Amino acid sequence: MAQEEKTGKVKDIKETVFSAVEIIRQIKTPGVLESFGKIMDTGIIAKEIIEALKTPEMVKNIENIRVISENINEATSKMQNTLKQLEETGIINETKGLVHSAKTTVDSFSSSQDLHEMGVTIKDLFKSVKCLVDGFKN
């Protein structure tokens, strides 16, 4: 049993060495070397980007973006609070009702002729009321 175990371990070592040799052989192929070149180029570009982000100008820009983000969050919170207060007062529902009422009133006029006639009628009504008031004064 010990002999079989040694033979198995030797076989495993041979397979591992063979696999390592095959990997080294493949590393030397043009496609893999080209890929390594691209990886190196990407690493250089990433390093340049990191260095550029460390410049005082970029640090200031990043800080400004952070401040803007905080301000937007604060404004959002204030708008939500304002909306909540408006809803609590009922003014939004009243405004909706007013808009609905105005729309219904406008929709009830079938044409501009109707509006004109209504204007003339209201004008005549005011003239009549004025004459009546003048009559009571005399």
Q: Tell me the two tokens of residue 126.
A: 């005011």
Which pLDDT band, with edges at 50, 70 and 90, does 137 fall under?
Answer: low
Q: What is the C-alpha end-to-end distance of the chain, expressed in Å? A: 138
Return all residues near 36 (Cβ < 8 A) that are at least 6 apart. 27
pLDDT at residue 111 tops 70: no
Between CA 88 and CA 82 the distance in angstroms is: 10
> What is the number of alpha carbons within 13 Å of residue 56 lying toward its C-beta?
0
To the question of pTM greater than 0.75 for the whole model, the response is no
Which pLDDT band, with edges at 50, 70 and 90, does 48 fall under?
Answer: very high
Q: What one-letter code names the amino acid at 35?
A: S
Which pLDDT band, with edges at 50, 70 and 90, does 113 fall under?
Answer: low
pLDDT at residue 50 tops 70: yes
37-49: average pLDDT: 95
SS3 29: coil
Which pLDDT band, with edges at 50, 70 and 90, does 68 fall under?
Answer: very high
